[in-house]
Structure 1
Amino acid sequence: MIILETDRLYLRPYLDEDIKSIHDVFSDKETMTFYPAPFTIKETTEWVKRNQLRYKEVGYGLWAVCLKETRALIGDCGLVKQKVDNQNEVEIGYHINKKFWSNGLATEAASACKEYGFYQLGLEKLISIIDPSNRASIRVAEKIGFTKEKEAFIFNKNHAIYSGTKE
């Protein structure tokens, strides 16, 4: 079941058989630089299961990002409820396999998720929670029209909160 489609990508719910493919992304040290550590296979499995539960509970989560041309799973992108400074927010999150960095794919997926959040779900505001040193993620947020709103202590460290509102 395809949730979103762009020129080069489609986003769909995670399947149990995606664990190996997405683990290639989450177990990579460079990709996970801004996380405490690369994921173990157990952590990746829990990540997939957590998102599958989100689909059932709230109707969205992080989805598998697949290349249309090859159908290969190259990362994830989607919407996740977060609590920032005691406020309920919805975050656009994204992770792309480093083999595909610098091709605009994260921006393409995040832009589609932004449109989905605003026009399918009727949300008025979306955020991205970004480590202030993660220039690549900041560029993605800025390319989809987000600006830095503030800094917040979340996930046991300071993060920049980028946000955008429905136009």
Structure 2
Amino acid sequence: MYRCGGVIPELESSRLRLRKLEDSDAAQLYKYWGDDEVVKYLNMSRLESVQDTLDMINLLNGLSESEDTLRWGIELKETGLLIGSCGFNVWQLAGATRGEIGYDLGEAYWGRGYMSEALLTLMEFGYSVMGLNRIEVLVLPENSASRRMLEKLGFQEEGLLREYQQNEQAEGYIDLYLYALLKREFEQRRMSY
């Protein structure tokens, strides 16, 4: 069974480094978490300041210490620029061996394959190190770009979860699509990535 013990391991792909979020990332992340175009696809309100972003970084890092979440910053290896974040929002190992991932990317970096590359790295870690059998993603119906990316990665749409979560940005509830990819499906597709 995987134990992170508060340590967020550094992961790498050909163009990206997934690393622990640091206090010094707050100003850069605020550009994304404070951007209406980015947060409209996240179930969170737009952050109002760099201090709010720093508070969120500290919350996420604290949750990793209690093994309630794992969140990485996505950094371009070539320049060291932080372009977004991704991670496991929740996971269950005993009995279920499944995890739910979430992700965000600065709008200037959309459509370049960065998120697919980051998620492949994250999935490899989830299946091989954490021992997950199933990785899930919840996606807003209107986020068609994310849905297409997940389908290209082999995730299957399993259904619409009606009024599944309260909406932080407005009153009421939101519908979410559930996507999932099994370990055996990932391993079958590994060579085609």
Q: Could you state the TM-score of these two structures normalised by the residue count of structure 1?
A: 0.88
Asked whether the 8 Å contact 2:133–2:182 carries over to 1, the reply is yes
Query: Which residue identity is paired with 1:18?
Result: D
Q: Who is 1:117 aligned against?
A: 126
Asked whether the 8 Å contact 2:134–2:180 carries over to 1, the reply is yes
Q: Who is 1:154 aligned against?
A: 165
Shift of 1:50: 2.2
Larger Rg: 2
Q: Give the 3 Å change call, closer, same or farther, for CA 56–100 of structure 1 in structure 2.
A: same
Unaligned runs of 5+ in 2: 1-7, 167-172, 185-193
Distance in 2 separating the partners of 1:89 and 1:46: 28
What is the number of residues matched between the two proteins?
164
Query: Which residue identity is paired with 2:12?
Result: E
What secondary structure sits across from 2:21 in the alignment?
A: coil
Distance in 2 separating the partners of 1:50 and 1:62: 10
Distance in 2 separating the partners of 1:29 and 1:129: 19
Q: 2:115 aligns with which of 99, 103, 106?
A: 106
Asked whether the 8 Å contact 1:64–1:73 carries over to 2, the reply is yes
Distance in 1 separating the partners of 2:114 and 2:82: 12
Q: Who is 1:132 aligned against?
A: 141
Spell out, residue by residue over 1:18-76, the C-alpha distance to the aligned partner (whole angstroms, 9 max, x if none): 11111111111111223464222254233212210122121851210000000000000
Distance in 1 separating the partners of 2:146 and 2:64: 24
Q: 2:180 aligns with which of 160, 163, 167?
A: 163
Q: Which moved more, 1:16-25 or 1:57-66?
A: 57-66
Asked whether the 8 Å contact 1:93–1:110 carries over to 2, the reply is no
Shift of 1:154: 2.2
**RMSD after superposition:** 2.2
Q: Give the 3 Å change call, closer, same or farther, for CA 37–150 of structure 1 in structure 2.
A: same
1:75 maps to 2:93: no
Q: Who is 2:11 aligned against?
A: 4
Q: Could you state the TM-score of these two structures normalised by the residue count of structure 2?
A: 0.77
Asked whether the 8 Å contact 2:89–2:102 carries over to 1, the reply is yes
Q: 1:14 aligns with which of 17, 21, 24?
A: 21
Runs of 4+ in 1 over 6 A off after TM superposition: none
